[in-house]
Amino acid sequence: MDLAYLRAHPAHLSTFRTHQRIRETPVAGGDICAAARLTLDDGHSIFAKSWPERADRPVPEGFFEAEAAGLRWLRDAGAVAVPEVLVTLPDLLALDWVEPGEPTAEAAERFGRELADLHRAGAPTFGASWPGFIGALAQDNTVDDGPWSTWFAERRLAPYLRRCVDGGALTSEDATLVERVMSRLGEFGGGEAPARIHGDLWPGNVLWGADDRVWLVDPAAHGGHRETDLAQLALFGGIPHLDTVLAAYRETWPLSAGWRERVPLHQLHLLLVHTALFGAGYRDAVVQNARAALGGVERATVDR
């Protein structure tokens, strides 16, 4: 099997793997899927991620199809580097291999400009035309004309807040705090038309390539607010050269006034997702961000 054959017969990949006809090297993956580097007969490498074979945890319907649709949609913008989707099967996704490299200021500056171009490619509505997932959780991608504040509260905060409370990771008092943020979303400002966003852009989904480019992987892509992607880049320690990325981004496409104060708000979605997935270890971050978000909108209200 070489790359040309794979492109012509993508459904054969599983058979070749089962019969050990492809050299396979495990690579570090996430908490959900098994990942491997596959070397084809022509020496070309691809990245394959597959759903673990567990009877108690079947692959959610449309899981890999949703990721493939998001990758293609981001790649179609012709802005940020996004790996080509080679194979999409119900239990497997294969992408062109990206050789890892080291973070550099030059790559960060280029990434900032390209991310602005990606966002500026836009989206027809909030949400997307395919079912959504973030991690292993379903994400409501129902298309919506907005406004963004209502859509974000109803589609990106409320569902995961309920899961966190039902699972015991957040208390009712914590939920009340987050609900106060949701009730005041219209006061935060910065409302814009839908941008074409990655949607799960924490540092682990940013790949620094040997070609001195930044590549985007594992998206939860949809039409959303561009500040969400930028805020997620700062989570969990932030990506290398974050200040350089943001400076290049703002030079390419300036941000609305008050964007720094809105960072905790835009991070709240992903923090609630992590809390729903992994438990109360993320509770303090949710509470701190909710309080910071309320503080930011109250300061902005006083300034006006």
18 CB neighbour count, 10 Å cutoff: 9
Q: Do 245 and 112 contact (CB within 8 A), yes or no? A: yes
Mean pLDDT estimate for the chain: 94
Is the model more confident about 54 or about 227?
Answer: 227
Residues 105-303, CATH architecture: Alpha-Beta Complex (3.90)
The pTM assigned to this predicted structure is 0.94
Give burial (CB, 10 Å; 0-12/13-18/19+) of 43.
Answer: exposed
Under the banding of pLDDT at 50, 70 and 90, the label for residue 98 is: very high
Please tell me the distance from the alpha carbon of residue 128 to that of residue 26, in angstroms, as a whole number.
32
Please tell me the distance from the alpha carbon of residue 36 to that of residue 25, in angstroms, as a whole number.
5
Please tell me the distance from the alpha carbon of residue 71 to that of residue 93, in angstroms, as a whole number.
11
The dotted CATH code for 3-96 is 3.30.200.20
pLDDT at residue 53 tops 50: yes
pLDDT tens, residue by residue, 240-274: 999 999 999 999 999 999 999 999 999 999 999 99
Selection from 247, 182, 192 nearest residue 224 by Cα: 192
Q: Give me the phi and psi of 168, to 5 degrees please.
A: 80, 10
Q: In the numeric block, which tokens belong to residue 252?
A: 């390419």
Q: Give me the phi and psi of 45, to 5 degrees please.
A: -105, 145
Under the banding of pLDDT at 50, 70 and 90, the label for residue 28 is: confident
Domain boundaries, the chain: 3-96, 105-303
pLDDT of the residue at 302: 47
Please tell me the distance from the alpha carbon of residue 1 to that of residue 12, in angstroms, as a whole number.
9
Q: In the numeric block, which tokens belong to residue 68?
A: 């493939």
Please tell me the distance from the alpha carbon of residue 1 to that of residue 24, in angstroms, as a whole number.
13
Under the banding of pLDDT at 50, 70 and 90, the label for residue 301 is: low
Q: Quick one: average pLDDT of 32-54?
A: 90
108 vs 104, 165, 239, CA distance in Å?
6, 38, 9
Please tell me the distance from the alpha carbon of residue 219 to that of residue 134, in angstroms, as a whole number.
8
Under the banding of pLDDT at 50, 70 and 90, the label for residue 29 is: low
Q: Quick one: average pLDDT of 23-40?
A: 86
pLDDT at residue 120 tops 90: yes
Q: Do 144 and 126 contact (CB within 8 A), yes or no? A: yes
Q: Quick one: average pLDDT of 89-100?
A: 95
Beta bridge partners of 34: 50
Please tell me the distance from the alpha carbon of residue 177 to that of residue 291, in angstroms, as a whole number.
8
